[in-house]
Structure 1
Amino acid sequence: MPPAAVIDPTLDGKDSALAARATGSSWRATLLRYYSLAKPRVLYGNVLTAAAGFLFASPKNVHWLLFLAVCLGTTFVIGSACVLNNVLDRDIDTLMARTQKRATVTGGVGARNAVIYSAVLGLSGMAILVAWTNALVVVVGLGGFLAYVVLYGMLSKRMSIHGTLVGSISGAAPILGGYLGATNSFDAGAVIAFLMLFFWQLPAFYSIAIYRKAEYARAGVPVISVVRSIANTKVQILLYTAAFVTTSLLPQPFGYTGWVYTASMAVLGVGWLVMAIRGLNASDDDSWARLMFRYALVMMCAISLLLAIGPRVP
């Protein structure tokens, strides 16, 4: 499953900084450059949601070997997508401050070697998923990879304001894959888990689109804040935040969690919703947008924790 596209724009800058520190020709520096290409912070965040999806779908007994196979295969597939994305985005990355130090931009890792590295990761990940999980996980993994690399990275990201929606589909694939890995069936829980991550990504990414607006405009990436306006972006953030909060409260009515989950998500969700409402009249758009994104990261951790423990507590 590919990475959540909306985590990528900011956390990826930290992974680029990691690549910048990996100078020299020693084996350690070389390993760090290749490691940075997999966008580790993005990678681990997405694997966390895959693990949460699996545990959410395993309220009683956890099949730990299957859990390990799902997480390991997902890690390799996501890493492969991240590496290939680095290769494809070299022209854009040279124009954006947060990505100018990527190893694929500086020449620390050549494009050919990066593609080989991506292929090894991807094939290894898919082999694990094929051998030890089920057909649904394999389909989600392959479909999510193609959606992120081709439909998002190669096409919609560069051509349409709706690229974020496409990226959000691929970004919700890890939690769906984790859920299906445990159940081997597509049910209401799978839909809820997928929609939660799908809706979560849009307020997060649109917040980044506000405070990174100048960089995206310079790189020619048609994000919503550049094409339509910051005011319109704020309205979309509010609408998708409301959609997320609503979806996040569905597990209990469908019988998947108890009141501990619902009360916790309600408090956190209302807090995010209030913040989104206040943003409509914010005087400092950049500061508000950065705060919204930081809260989004808190929400992602909360989603992962509460979905994992929700079926196990009252």
Structure 2
Amino acid sequence: MFSGYYKLIKPRVMYGNLITTIAGFLFAADGHIDLGLFLATAIGTGLVISSACVINNYLDQDIDAKMERTKSRPLITGEVSQTGAVVYGATLGILGLAMLIAWTNRWVVGVGIFGFVTYVWLYGALGKRKSVHGTLVGSLSGAAPILAGYVAVQPGLDAAAVILFLIIFFWQMPEFYSISIYRKVEYAKAGIPVSSVVRGVDATKRQIFVYTVLTVASMMGLAATPLASLSYLVVVLVFGAYWLQLTAEGLVTENNDVWAHRNFHFALWVLVIFCLIISLNPFVP
């Protein structure tokens, strides 16, 4: 039973978002880490993200039952009961929000609530079911964790906070659009109006290129802020140049599924390297 409840939090989604939270915090801290604030931000945000994922699982059962990659989720197989999932999700959310209220600041609380509502309702319950623009809505919630980490240390929306948000917002588009290409048949079967289904693969590849340009440009923009190091700029130039080349290849390739897999996996590496370099930023030249 424990494994079923663990799966409900969508561990890969939760940990991926938590990594960006931690990276945002460490970047803002600039080497001066308040351990108590760090733990409260990380654990509280992690609980809120987990809650959102559980509730999303509950709301998405009709879709999950139709898709190969999701039809074995705990609520579909009956491993976890409907009531158990709702209580579990609510408990995680209440505990996480309570931690953020008690030990962080109103900016973190506000960003946490924004991310939760956007992911569960605006994206999960409405956007992705009804519009090709659902991915854009979902990307707003996906960009919230890195902002929460940053404003925990630097309350308010300065240039770095806005740019960090934009980086993760833009990054999610080529990442998810790549998935939508090689899983196009599954999304069509489930009736989800993703870009590859509604606009076609060629149009989606053009969108991927545009959003990759915006992601790399935003990463370059962060290099102009006071906290960014020269090492950060070098890493962004190297990885950004290769990613742009890879997405440009996608515009002319005919082997769309293979290319989309490559682009998806490289996008993940870009995120990992980005989070690592901004976390280590105070300690490198």
Which interval holds the TM-score relative to the shorter structure?
over 0.9
Aligned to 1:37: 8
Aligned to 1:129: 100
Whether 2:242 is the aligned partner of 1:271: answer: yes
Partners of 1:31 and 1:291 lie apart in 2 by 34
Of 221, 224, 230 in structure 2, the residue corresponding to residue 253 of structure 1 is 224
Partners of 2:125 and 2:223 lie apart in 1 by 39
Root-mean-square deviation (Å)? 0.8
Aligned to 2:34: 63
Whether 2:141 is the aligned partner of 1:141: answer: no
- The TM-score with structure 1 as length reference comes to 0.90
Partners of 1:134 and 1:174 lie apart in 2 by 14
Gaps in structure 2 of 5+ consecutive residues? none
Partners of 2:139 and 2:16 lie apart in 1 by 14
Partners of 1:235 and 1:60 lie apart in 2 by 40
Structure 1 segment 1-314 matched on structure 2, within 5 A: 30-314=1-285
Partners of 2:87 and 2:76 lie apart in 1 by 17
Structure 1: 4+ residue segments shifted above 6 A: none
Per-residue deviation at 1:311? 3.5
Partners of 1:144 and 1:41 lie apart in 2 by 17
SS at match of 1:221: coil
Report the AA paired with residue 273 of structure 2: A
Per-residue deviation at 1:60? 3.5
Partners of 2:132 and 2:238 lie apart in 1 by 32
Per-residue deviation at 1:183? 1.0
Identity of aligned residues (%): 50
Report the AA paired with residue 225 of structure 2: F
Partners of 1:134 and 1:167 lie apart in 2 by 24
Per-residue deviation at 1:145? 0.1
Over residues 44-99 of structure 1, what are the superposed CA-to-partner deviations in whole Å (9 max), with x where a residue is unaligned?
A: 11100000000010113111110110000011000000001111000000100000
Report the AA paired with residue 194 of structure 1: F
Partners of 1:64 and 1:302 lie apart in 2 by 24
Gaps in structure 1 of 5+ consecutive residues? 1-29
Per-residue deviation at 1:251? 2.1
Per-residue deviation at 1:185? 2.1
